[in-house]
A and B are shown apart, each in its own frame.
Chain A
């Protein structure tokens, strides 16, 4: 043994805010997975907050996640005016992410959106709920692509 142990200096203990912000491990893994997909994808946490979308999604929605930041997922979706092929509004209860979040089941839908760049696009969305080891609901992951 070469190194004598030195007692550490006093240091402030962790603030409650740091612990409250910690992302659940499954969301961290999902982010890494989504980050490496060429398919657009997003993640919402158990509180329904959009916490990440990947570079491929940025190309579809027309805005970088770093600029958008975390926000309620429903609020974020509203900005894209989701609607049916006849241009009538898509009822929230048919949005795959809403179904995955509220009914805790996988869902799929095709609908129109207007991206942040003003372009109308028809997209398909598949969403599924995420459950951690102990069947704890931790959030929703969704992938989407242009038709």
Chain B
């Protein structure tokens, strides 16, 4: 069973303790200056945003079928059975295709480093494997970020929306977006207002399918195209041979005729 996170923006109090816990977990510096930053970066994997006294958290969605994992030429990113989408830095060659491909623009880069890494929330894989919650869920004082089984959290999100239809917008962001993610967001405001990509824009199709349609044809394409090219080569060179042979025949005939005349 895979794990997931449910973020309920209506109970978030904007204390930013998740930011601090995340930084500590990932051994990143965290002080007032970092806390004041309202964008995600290579040193800030999650951020709590404020708009009209309403809060919203941003973090990697840890997609069910992640674009980053499918595009990586060396397979440095992969989706674990437990839910987290993790990154093997020792494989990475630094092509940054994952950053370009991610619909949520979550992977960030250590641009200033001479041996740069891609950085993003990886959903605390060590903790999850050890049966613990993610750092952000554990520290959350109100339960706004909740860790649990993916299926259970979907049910819980649906129940909360059903029980308080006046509080929540009737949508669970992350349920169907790009084929489903491991982070669900329910809120009274649209997530798009905080910079999340619009559901209509990113669609419900898992991202890897867009390139998969092409990639899966390649194993068939290679032998067929090789045969076609080989065939063309053979035909055009066969013509040449035939022409040469004919020319020779003609020459011989001519010689015979000439010989006969003599």
Pairing of A with B: no
